[in-house]
Amino acid sequence: MGAASTSKRHDLELVEPMLLAIMDTVKTAGGLEIRVGTPYLKGQGPAVTVDSMAVFGVLSRGSGAMVSVAVLFSSRDYAALMEKIFQHPPSEDVIHDGIGEFVSLIFSRVKKLMNLDGTIIRRMIPTIVFGQSLKVSYLTAGQSVIVPLETDAGNFFLELTME
């Protein structure tokens, strides 16, 4: 097996736990089931409206694989998801803190899933951004994959870039 195929296998080892952790977090915190849409390469599918996002990296110390992760929301869907999770319309402070809590919950679940097989991972410090019509760019040659995630409260996207 060549270096490229080994690297791709390690990248996928980080992607699956990420999806499982997001699904578990949304189900546990908000009582919502996630329907995973068909993934597509960034720029080769529908454009994503982004008004709030969390961006962070996950590094597998065992394989050296790195995945940059962006969780992307439109403002309408983000507010609806946070309302479902908090079970009441959240205040402005809470709604801004919610995405940080969401990322922390996801990472703790990823870590638990990854460490079942002895893999040790590390999360890079997340960046939380709110605005209008935001764009995500990476300083890497890695290609980004967009995974649409749908719930009854709202939709959001996961953008994964393997480095």
pLDDT higher than 80, residue 129: yes
What's the CATH number for 3-162? 3.40.1550.10
In this structure, of 79-88, 103-112, 120-129, the range with the lowest mean pLDDT score is 120-129
Name which of 81, 58, 55 is nearest 154 in CA terms: 81
Domain spans of the chain?
3-162
Dihedral sign computed on CA atoms, order 75, 128, 157, 104: negative
Structure tokens at 49: 């409206």
According to the model, what pLDDT value does residue 19 have? 87
According to the model, what pLDDT value does residue 117 have? 63
